[in-house]
Structure 1
Amino acid sequence: MAVPPEITIANLAGQFIPDKALSDDAEGFLSLQGVPWLLRKAIGLANPKLTIAQSTNDKGVAVVDLSVVGIGGRTVTEQRVLDWEAVPSNNPLYGNTIIRSRLYTSTFEKSPDQSDEDYAYLNAKIARDGSPSSWIEDEDGQHLHCVITNDEAGWTIDQVWGFEEINGKRYYTRRSVLVKGDAVERGRIVYNYIS
């Protein structure tokens, strides 16, 4: 189901499930992250429910709380503190990570180690296959940018959250670029809005 226009990145809250038909296959991502084959197959069959809530912490910084109910009804929670400070996290699937998150408008500055194609992909200028695409700008014109690093496993994910029009409907999407050594994977998750 399409996301109502009143839901923006600045007030993103609700329940979502991935639309597998519209999302990119995550096999390459999970493999590059070191997720075992059997678990990758189980994830491919699962239909996780994502719940997003927003609040403000005691420092006055916006916080996004994520709760994912996945395989076997197990719930995994994560948090994005939107101040671009490094926050340690532990995820049962991805291990120990450092996450930096922020809101931005327009485009973010290209990092020296990003290829032009990866930068264009994260800014929704191109799709995974290189064809043109674009964000739907909401009234706030904001996007959420996360950089997730796992030093032990040797990978980094650059991720941008926004809204895209697909088949005439407005969807919440996440575009990600995963880098591990010389290997790069790009992928987009398209979410159906539940409530």
Structure 2
Amino acid sequence: MAAPADMTAANISGKFVVRPGRPQNKEQSEKNDEILKNQGVSWMARKAATVATPHLTIKHYKDASGVEHIEVEQAVAGNMLSEHRVLDSSQKTIDSPLMGKLVQQNRRVAAGELEVEWLKQGWLAESFVDGAIIHVTADSGAGKGDGKWHMEQVVGGQKKYVRRIHCVGQKGEVVHGCLVYDYEGPL
């Protein structure tokens, strides 16, 4: 289901889901397995991801200083994973249960400032706030995949929660893909 017409990237709070068995999610999401493989995720974990139904609860708000925060609770098969992203452009080291230690940066950026053409494409006007989209980078060291990789994501588009992904693997291989989440309802 598409998000409400009045929802914009100024506030993406809501509940979202990827249903692997639903034709529209399967056709719209692209190359998730290849991206996870580039990140050194095991074959078993990647196969589990293809049949899982992740549910996201997203709380998007500004703190007293006006800095944006995006809190994501992801429930998959009874397991809960949490992400707290602060869109302040600072680099932070996080520990991902799936991918090990990552250096992550979260910010808003004008699409024209992105180096990767793939990440600039396919956005609705509602994906932008003051001319900028949400941009996330994650870099690994020699973590669980025993190699370094880099990933960039931009969020928005299609009146669904969409993550467009540019992933550079351990040997320089590049994969472009996206994850498309259906809107389930408000918080």
What is the TM-score with the length of structure 1 in the denominator? 0.81
| Conserved? CA contact 1:78–1:89, under 8 Å | no
| Conserved? CA contact 1:66–1:79, under 8 Å | yes
| Conserved? CA contact 2:114–2:120, under 8 Å | no
Give the drift of 1:59.
Answer: 4.6
In structure 2, relative to structure 1, the CA distance for the partners of 1:149 and 1:106 (3 Å cut) is: closer
Hey, what does 1:128 align to over in structure 2?
none
Which structure would you say has the larger RCO, counting Cα contacts within 8 Å and 6 or more residues apart?
2
Give the drift of 1:26.
Answer: 1.1
- Of 98, 107, 125 in structure 2, the residue corresponding to residue 93 of structure 1 is 98
Runs of 4+ in 1 over 6 A off after TM superposition: none
- Of 41, 46, 52 in structure 2, the residue corresponding to residue 40 of structure 1 is 46
How many residue pairs get matched?
A: 172
Hey, what does 2:108 align to over in structure 1?
103
Give the drift of 1:104.
Answer: 2.8
**Aligned residue identity for 1:100:** Q
Give the drift of 1:56.
Answer: 3.0
SS at match of 1:121: helix
Q: What is the distance in 1 between the residues matched to 2:132 and 2:57?
A: 20
- Of 178, 182, 185 in structure 2, the residue corresponding to residue 192 of structure 1 is 182
1:79 aligns with 2:68: no
Q: CA RMSD in A?
A: 1.7
What is the TM-score with the length of structure 2 in the denominator? 0.85
Hey, what does 2:140 align to over in structure 1?
150
- Of 112, 123, 130 in structure 2, the residue corresponding to residue 135 of structure 1 is 123
| Conserved? CA contact 1:9–1:142, under 8 Å | no
1:173 aligns with 2:178: no
Give the drift of 1:154.
Answer: 0.3
